[in-house]
Structure 1
Amino acid sequence: MGRIFCIMGKSSSGKDTIFKILLQRKDINVKRIVSYTTRPQRSHEKPGDEYNFVTIEEKDRLLAEGKVIELRKYDTVHGPWFYFTVDDESVDLSQDDYLMIGTVESFVKIRDYYGADKVLPIYIEVDDGIRLSRALERERSQEHPKYEEMCRRFLADQQDFSEENLKKANITNVFNNNEDSAITSDNIAAFINGK
């Protein structure tokens, strides 16, 4: 029976880096689940890699077709951005294990959709000062930095990933990523392999 491992963490905790490292490892065999978003694509992103980038109209069509498992709306300084997971028939839990990136809210809805025995949380924890430095560095590298949105996300994460929300969602698999994403990835790979 396949499982879905859902990586979560506050912004700039290293989720994307760890996600990519884990997908390249030979000692675990996981496929990716790519979420959907209506937010603008960043300069370094490729469609279908970090996200499937869609229009509001495409999001509405998928909703109308009943294919959306979970949907989150963020009222950003640039207008509403939607992030969501779609049952696009790319997941076959009778054959494979999967890896995805999500939030506490999306994890709970995906767990409820596929079953608690099939969806396991992986929470990436990083010191807030380190996260803020990473976020600022990432934003500076963008062609059109969005500092105001970076600050909004940083503050919103304090609520979204509060101890209360983590406890309520029964998220106990916590991995610290203050220093080295390669070491963190080793620890997560051992967890995936059940070691």
Structure 2
Amino acid sequence: MGKIFLLMGKSTSGKDTIYRELIKNGDLKLNKVIPYTTRPMRDGETDGVQYFFKDENGYLELKNAGKIIEERTYHTNYGEWRYFTVDDGQIDLANGNYLMIGTLESYCYIRDYFGKENVIPLLIDVDAKIRLTRAMHREDKQEHPRYDEMCRRFLADEEDFAEEKLQNAGVTKAFKNNEAIETCIKEITEYINREIR
């Protein structure tokens, strides 16, 4: 039986970069699970690569069909943005291991849906000052920076990943990504290898 490794962490913790490196690692043989969202595409994103981008009607069709495993709605300064995982045939634990990106809340839903023994949390931890610097740098590169949304998300992450919530979810191990992301990736790779043996 395969396992689902779920990368999680606050915004700008390096999840996307770590995800790309782990997926590229041929020795790990991790399969992608592409999530869905109703938020607008960012510069450089492609439908079906980072996310499947749906409008509200597309989301409602999947929800009414009973296909949504877990979902989160963020009340942003630009309206409601939904992020969700769909039972669309992407995950088949009889045929391998998978890598996903999510939140603590999504981890709990995925864990409950597929079974605690099959879902392994990978929490990325970064100091707040480093996260803020990275977030500003990322927004500076956007054609239409949304600094207000960046600040809202930063504060929401502090609440969403509160220590008490992590403990209640049973997430006790974290991987530090303050400086050399290569070190963090190496530690996670070794951890995954131990889990899939």
Superposition TM-score, scaled by structure 2 size: 0.97
Displacement of 1:47 in angstroms is: 1.4
Secondary structure of 1:167's aligned partner: helix
Q: Note if 1:18 corresponds to 2:18.
A: yes
1:151-190 equivalences in 2 (<5 Å): 151-190=151-190
Displacement of 1:182 in angstroms is: 1.7
Q: Write the deviation string for residues 88-123 of structure 1: whole angstroms up to 9, x where unpaired.
A: 011110011000000010000000000001001000
| One-letter amino acid of the counterpart of residue 87, structure 2 | D
Q: Write the deviation string for residues 98-151 of structure 1: whole angstroms up to 9, x where unpaired.
A: 000000100000000000010010000001000000000000101111100000
Structure 2 unaligned segments of length 5 or more: list them.
none
Displacement of 1:173 in angstroms is: 2.4
1:127 corresponds to which residue? 127
2:7 corresponds to which residue? 7
Q: Note if 1:91 corresponds to 2:91.
A: yes
2:107 corresponds to which residue? 107
Displacement of 1:26 in angstroms is: 2.1
For 2:97 and 2:74, locate their aligned partners in 1 and report how far apart those are by CA, in whole Å: 29
2:43 corresponds to which residue? 43
For 2:119 and 2:187, locate their aligned partners in 1 and report how far apart those are by CA, in whole Å: 18
For 2:184 and 2:28, locate their aligned partners in 1 and report how far apart those are by CA, in whole Å: 14
| One-letter amino acid of the counterpart of residue 50, structure 1 | Q
The ranges of structure 1 where at least 4 consecutive aligned residues each deviate by more than 4 angstroms after the TM superposition are none
Deviates more, 1:122-131 or 1:164-173: 164-173
For 2:147 and 2:101, locate their aligned partners in 1 and report how far apart those are by CA, in whole Å: 23
Displacement of 1:70 in angstroms is: 0.6
Q: Write the deviation string for residues 32-79 of structure 1: whole angstroms up to 9, x where unpaired.
A: 111100000000111122211111100000000000001111000001
For 1:130 and 1:47, locate their aligned partners in 2 and report how far apart those are by CA, in whole Å: 29
Secondary structure of 1:47's aligned partner: coil
Contact 1:21/1:182 (<8 A) preserved: no
Which structure has the highest helix share of the two? 2
Task: Compute the RMSD of aligned alpha carbons.
Answer: 0.9
| One-letter amino acid of the counterpart of residue 32, structure 1 | K
| One-letter amino acid of the counterpart of residue 163, structure 1 | E
| One-letter amino acid of the counterpart of residue 21, structure 2 | I
For 2:66 and 2:118, locate their aligned partners in 1 and report how far apart those are by CA, in whole Å: 21
For 1:17 and 1:135, locate their aligned partners in 2 and report how far apart those are by CA, in whole Å: 14
For 1:125 and 1:81, locate their aligned partners in 2 and report how far apart those are by CA, in whole Å: 24
For 1:169 and 1:61, locate their aligned partners in 2 and report how far apart those are by CA, in whole Å: 30
Q: How many residues align?
A: 195
Displacement of 1:27 in angstroms is: 2.3
